[in-house]
Amino acid sequence: MLVDHFPLVGLRLTTPRLELRLPSLEELGALADLAADGVHDPDVMPFLVPWTDRPPDEIARSVVQHHWLRLGNWTPQDWSLNLAVFHAGVVIGQQTIGAHDLAITREVRTGSWLGRLYHGRGIGTEMRAAVLHLAFAELGAEEAVSGALEHNLASHAVSRKLGYEPDGIQHHAIRGVRTSERRLRLTRAAWEHRCAIPVTIDGLASCLPLFAADAA
């Protein structure tokens, strides 16, 4: 069975309202449709790589190809897990968690997006809390980093609610304009203090070698 060769397909994170897991092929298609329908106000780019500036069919294809790319080039030393987020059985967005040499760095990074219909209902906070639980409670992470462009107030609010602290500023050229990204960092102590959202994880044991978390 596929899960014997690639156990990540059996990994499932559950929160009160959400399920996070790898999508089936058809669910990946639905995730691509969702992205093509719009992830944010087109006038305001929230991403460092402006992948949503393309025509809808190219946005959709890029979601599919990026998903396969990160599964295909996965190594325990450098991995990035793009989890589809489901609410009431419907795919509503994507939550990413990744790391380099996790057993040594003990640091994970995250990124996320939701279909526009689903913004502003606390879902972004709940899905980030799910992967933070994976990182801190199960994979031995000591810190989680994130970042958001200065104008991305929703993303900053999510990070603030979860206990992240400012971690400096980095400048980028986005759409040809100098843009400030505020870096953010969450320590294990702050996570332990703030983590109030219950998270259940299934199918993790056989994935641990793939996360290189066994030494962590």
Ligand X SMILES: CC(C)(COP(=O)(O)OP(=O)(O)OC[C@H]1O[C@@H](n2cnc3c(N)ncnc32)[C@H](O)[C@@H]1OP(=O)(O)O)[C@@H](O)C(=O)NCCC(=O)NCCS
Positions in the binding site for ligand X (CB under 6 A): 39-40, 46-47, 112-114, 119-125, 148, 152-155, 157-158, 161
Hey, which residues does 33 pair with through a beta bridge? Answer: none
Using Cβ positions, the residue closest to ligand X within the complex turns out to be: 124
Hey, which residues does 113 pair with through a beta bridge? Answer: 94
Let me know: does 148 contact 46? Beta carbons within 8 Å: yes
DSSP 75-125: BTTEEEEEEEEEETTEEEEEEEEEEESHHHH-EEEEEEEE-GGGTTSSHHH
Q: What angle do CA 56, 59, 62 make, to 5 degrees?
A: 150
Cα–Cα distance, 33 to 91 (Å, whole number): 10
Nearest approach, Cβ of residue 171 and ligand X (Å): 15
Closest CA to 184 of 145, 142, 157, 155: 145
Q: What angle do CA 144, 149, 151 make, to 5 degrees?
A: 130
Q: Which is nearer to ligand X, 86 or 207 (CB)?
A: 86
Nearest approach, Cβ of residue 48 and ligand X (Å): 8
Nearest approach, Cβ of residue 104 and ligand X (Å): 26
Nearest approach, Cβ of residue 208 and ligand X (Å): 27
Nearest approach, Cβ of residue 90 and ligand X (Å): 15
Q: Which is nearer to ligand X, 48 or 103 (CB)?
A: 48
Return all residues near 5 (Cβ < 8 A) that are at least 6 apart. Answer: none
Q: Which is nearer to ligand X, 158 or 213 (CB)?
A: 158
Q: Which is nearer to ligand X, 124 or 140 (CB)?
A: 124
Q: Which is nearer to ligand X, 10 or 112 (CB)?
A: 112
